[in-house]
Structure 1
């Protein structure tokens, strides 16, 4: 039996032992790529945290697999940033994962602008299901979650048993602040989404993302007017 840490053989004591030897974000990333090799994927939203993680990952594995959940509803600035990142890190395997259902097909089945009436269903169809399919052959995935982002993320660990997708979820940036993220981008002169300069700390699909006026709540601009703070990917 393999001693690799997987969802199926998850062991709290083993996870704790790993963390004793790998106590910071770079150690965790190095361990993750050594442990899972080609069986790990980074699901990147191409927000500020995503840019930082891509740069860090590139230092460790220049052929890492990175996926972007292309709902077909993202800001033009997001798609432009992806192209810039591809040019800066040409050896990374960056894939845009699209839902099996087009926006036109979704409108025929669920009605026009589903995201306005039932954003939970829209996110499930255009983000959760595509990620589930993209992770099918992987043992682990990487996420840019930070504890500071929202109350639902405050208990996130470096290494997590992901009950949603039945994988190991690695979150290297849990202790980073928004200021840490911006400082890293500035110091390393990384490309980033210009919407961050216009009051958008968290950037998702264009119809569901507004500028934030509450400095203490970085995700306040997501799904404004709905009792919703997550797309469903990080909720069990």
Structure 2
């Protein structure tokens, strides 16, 4: 975290309380070093989640790469535009995936967002607003350094070692089109193997959903 972490936390908490927008430079993600406007919504130990003003979905921003800049500094982040299609609720979307993605915490990582829609009542001709879950088409997947996903969701709930055998995927680096990660095998709480890999973003999501060749099917997440 930056040396002025206390001041950073104070500024973010103040923005959340007042509903204000912060202009930040973010030295990670798909366009490192670019400036963008965000609306913070929650603060965690090493990151915040915020609504990027160029997107409908919240994103995670690690404090180690985050710098608040003056409002006079121009915005340089360029959002990729995409259409959005109706999608299941996040917990249903990832049901049965090989690796468990806690929802709604990782909804934004899969470009899932609840957006406002307008429907015209054919009888009254009046417009009605409703909200539904959507996903970008094509989806703009995004993951953060340190994100970790387990093949057995009970790992997050039980004492370490209580689950006899499981796998974990931990993100080491994430760029616009690629993800570097480690596949870690655990037995009785001890790490028995680590394999590093780099995949295209879409292929990485496929691994989270379907697993890797030889992956134990009995460890598939129940959602």
- TM-score using structure 2 length: 0.24
Greater Rg by CA: 2
Structure with greater contact order relative to length (CA < 8 Å, sep ≥ 6): 1
Which protein is richer in helix relative to its size? 1
